[in-house]
Amino acid sequence: MTSTELEAYLHAHIPLSSAMQVSVVEIGPDAVVLGAPLAPNINHRDTVFGGSASAVAILAAWSLLHLRLTTAGFESRVVIQRNSMDYLAPIAGDFTARSYFEAGANWDGFARMLERKGRARISLGAVLITDGVEAGRLSGEFVAFGAGR
């Protein structure tokens, strides 16, 4: 899957991503970087609305897991089970969210569990960056359900 294909998938299947003007900046096996502009995500203080910041971070982590599963040939559905978000600085302009597998996340064990049980959990994170400053950090647990579930 290319960056263009992932972006088209997100806009078609998660309409909020289109409304927020989310773009796919970079994809790889261990990270997905999404970008979003200030204008459609602005709040009454001329900074990014916290819900928008959280949504882009979740979407980046979700995208990483979706991409990895698709590349590995798994037909699955991915949902977020829980997350926490730390807001570290106001975001007064365009921003990115870089996702990653959290320390201790075991892809091989996750894939075996998904294959064997039809369901598996894994921890992913994302960091929000604006103007070179870390503005937020997400930690989340995601669940994948196999094709039959």
Chain segment 34-60, per-residue pLDDT in tens: 999 999 999 999 999 999 999 999 999
Give the CA distances from residue 80 to residues 10, 14, 24, 34, 137, in Å, rounded to whole numbers and listed in that order.
Answer: 15, 14, 20, 18, 16
The 3-class SS string of 21-68 reads CCEEEEECCCCEEEEECCHHHECCCCCECHHHHHHHHHHHHHHHHHHH
Residue 148's contacts (CB-CB under 8 Å, 6 or more residues apart) are: 118
pLDDT of amino acid 146: 87
Taking each helix axis from N to C end, the angle separating 3-13 and 50-71, rounded to the nearest 10 degrees, works out to: 120
In this predicted structure, what is the pLDDT of residue 147?
73
Number of structural domains the chain divides into: 1
| pLDDT range class, residue 148, cuts 50, 70, 90 | low
Distance CA 149, CA 144 (A): 10
88 neighbors 136 (Cβ within 8 angstroms): yes
CATH, residue 137: 3.10.129.10
- For the four alpha carbons of 34, 42, 54 and 5, in that order, the dihedral sign comes to negative
| Ranges 58-62, 75-79, 145-149, most confident | 58-62
Contact 92, 38 (CB under 8 A): yes
Q: What is the DSSP letter of 125?
A: E
Mean pLDDT of 110-116: 94
Query: In whole angstroms, how large is the CA radius of gyration of the chain?
Result: 15
Domain that holds residue 105: 3-146
- Alpha carbon dihedral 100, 13, 78, 93, in 10-degree steps, equals 30
